[in-house]
Amino acid sequence: MARKRPMTTEELFNRINGILKEKGRLPDILDYGLATHSPVPITNYEYGLKNKLDYGGNEGRTTSGGRWLCADRSGAETYLDMWIEYTADGKRCVSGLGTFKTLRTDDKAMHIMAALLADFIIEEYAYVNANLDDFTWGARHPGDVGSAPTGVERRGVDVHVIEESGEKSKWGYSCGTMKAALKRKDELLMKYNKVIVRDNATRKERIYENGG
């Protein structure tokens, strides 16, 4: 069933966390994995998934320049923070996804948390690319839900290459207007044989061929 509203950063973290749990990829050493308490809607898949894996104090992470200040690790924990970054109105914006924490700080625990980071990145990439429609709402950036009177609506036009396998490429372009999308289509047809253009409002797609 098609979503009525964009997925939030909280929902995305919980969805990937759930996938990792189903696959048995959540390590036993975790104290918790908590999604952000300040969710924002993700209205465009053109964002960067960012992370930080580091030690922190048990009374909250005391940092200076992103580093925990302590000569040893006693009373510390290991944290893995996940967030997304995007550009809105020419400014860099950051929205948190969630945090994993373990009470262990030994070297093996750090390697385990690094493996969790890799698994999260892999599953998030696969999930978003398999569900691009859920991350295509025509807004200029994640967090911009628009102002449609009937709620958030899908807008804009997506352009993708049809690969030699016949599958739509996992990468593509999100354009604000059909005119911009057709211009992008013409540029892509100079390098690729087939390009598909999708109107997100009507969900209609058209395939263009090189020389056609």
Q: CA-CA distance, 37 to 98, in Å (whole number)?
A: 8
Are 108 and 74 in a shared domain? yes
Which residue segment(s) compose the domain that 43 sits in? Answer: 9-135
| Residue 124: inside a domain | yes
Task: Please write the tens of the pLDDT for every residue from 104-155.
Answer: 999 999 999 999 999 999 999 999 988 877 887 754 445 554 333 334 455 6
What pLDDT was estimated at residue 3? 73
Residue appearing with tokens 């960012």: 50
What does the CA dihedral 22, 23, 25, 26 come to, rounded to 10 degrees? 10
Helix 107-130 / helix 9-22 crossing angle, nearest 10 deg: 110
Q: What pLDDT does 2 receive? A: 65
Q: Which of 135, 166, 191 is the last residue of a domain?
A: 135
Q: Is residue 36 part of a domain?
A: yes
**So what's the pLDDT on residue 198?**
86
The answer, as to whether pTM is greater than 0.75, is no
Same domain? 131 vs 167: no
Bridge-based pairing state of the strands 91-102 and 67-68: unpaired
Report how many domains make up the chain.
Answer: 2
pLDDT value at position 5? 87
Alpha carbon distance, N-terminus to C-terminus of the chain: 35
pLDDT in tens, the chain (212 residues): 567 888 999 999 999 999 999 999 999 999 999 999 999 998 888 789 999 999 986 544 433 334 444 445 555 899 999 999 987 666 788 999 999 999 999 999 999 999 999 999 999 999 998 887 788 775 444 555 433 333 445 567 888 899 989 888 877 887 878 898 899 999 999 999 999 998 877 778 899 998 76
130/180 same-domain check: no
How does DSSP classify residue 133?
G
Judgement on whether residues 34 and 76 belong to the same structural domain of the protein: yes
Closest to 105 measured CA to CA, from 137, 131, 70: 70
